[in-house]
Structure 1
Amino acid sequence: MTTNILFCGYSYHTHGYHSQHKSGYPSYLFRLQTEGHCEVVVKGRKMLVEKGDLLLIKPGDHYELLVKAGQNSGDYHLVCDGVWIDEWWNRTEKPDVSRIGLDDKLLALWRHIMIEKRRPTSSQNEELMSNLLRALCLTLERTISETVPSFNRPYTVTRMMRYIEEHATTAFKVEDVARHVGLSVSRSVHLFKSSTEKTMMEYAQEIRLSAAIELMKYTNMTLEQIAEDCGFGTYPYFHRVFKKKYSVAPGAYRRYE
């Protein structure tokens, strides 16, 4: 199924800017506010868009963008269409504006698409760009869904979980997680435990063990190196944690897998 990237770029406005598509935007538009703020009108509704807000426009939507003189506004934007995009859009409800924050991995993916699109036509890899666009769409979809508080997990807890997942194999501290979400240590610890029924470090240990098992299965790395690379520090500690969890030593587990 086809996907077409019509335009992908970054804009920064300092002297005012206005664009409008009253008769309907011609394609799909993804726009992530990265700096400052601006105003948009979508389907007749005026909204303030601030840093970390994602705007999603579908073909035919009435859309206006206004950056007032004296304001600063920066954003990543991508215009696309195609059969796959149609199906992706229609399978779940897409809010006009979502507060998703600025995630480094998401921005890196967006920049990758932008760089590929800038290549001369003869050097562009259409298959690569198509897969990058699909990855961006799926990442945005998951990120949007995680901003909606579930019955037992506020969005702040989801942000803590994502931070731990990214830093589990390094020597992070609970203070780092609390700082990431803008809460006190005591509040973040209580909120995480009450929402997940485990501590931050217990959650980190699950991720470290999962990473260790993957390395044990698919690499020839020594158990000592695996222990270090997965954030356990020393092999004796890794051995103790692993055996407590799986009732077998790492070496025996590796031999029988």
Structure 2
Amino acid sequence: MTGSDAAMNLQDKSWKDYPVLPYIRLCYRFRAADFFQGERRLLDYLILFLEEGRYILQVDGAEYEILPGEFALIQPGVLFTTRGFGSCVVPNAHLDFFYNEERERSFVTTPGQTNLDSYADLLQPRLIDFPLVNLPVKLVPRQPGKLKDTLYRMIEAFKHNDIHSMLQVQKLATELLQLLLGDGEHSRSADFEHQQLVAKMNAFLSFNLSSPITVEMMAKHAGYSESHFNTLFNAHFGVTPHQYLLDLRLQKARELLDTQELKLDLIAEYCGFANASHFSKAFKRRYGMSPRYYRESRDFLDF
């Protein structure tokens, strides 16, 4: 299996499976005159900006001419060659966008390294294999000035080895990824939006479970108007926000009944019910028995 094949196997993976945490491996202004670099595949990403000269990139059999003021992005696993004409000045960065606990073992490949089977565990996921991301080799950024400035600031910060500079480099690399995704028309993947809404709401509701929570509060936390939030919530969760919150409260109450010897009024308080009576009525409506009976009989119940 080639590095390209390994990258293709990442298709249909979810964004949540790959935490974004950039790691910059090499970041500098490359200078050379009339050169050729033979075939290779990368484990990481290469983004470059042509300051001077002329570049010809051949990527998976297609040829791209890069002229001064233009950007290119080589994604992991693709087969490519590089040829420079004239005196070339090329600010560039080799980096991982996604966290890999073995990333310090990874490296910038050299010409001739086309089979990456031995390093498959180090191969970065390709952006183009994520839903609705369309990033060509020859980039046409919406904000070329901002992309160029971000790359140049990364190069400058990378020269230093102190913790502040390294954090700055990482921050700038994240900003660079945001610019690329904006250019790649990502953003509104239904799958990604669903993941984010579920994660946001579960964390918010769990943290505030014992407090009064209104739909207005949920909508504000999610970043939507209340009416739009209700529509989205029903579409993503299949129930109303109130019903979903009640389900969470009852699930938490069952967990406490199963694992703790707390009084019912305290469980009611911890789970956001007005009082023990309110808790008992809601519990019985859902499970067909009182909390007290559930606790006494749970070893014999089948649910």
Q: Which TM-score bucket, shorter chain as reference?
A: 0.3 to 0.5
Structure-1-length-normalised TM-score: 0.47
* Structure showing greater Rg: 2
Structure-2-length-normalised TM-score: 0.41
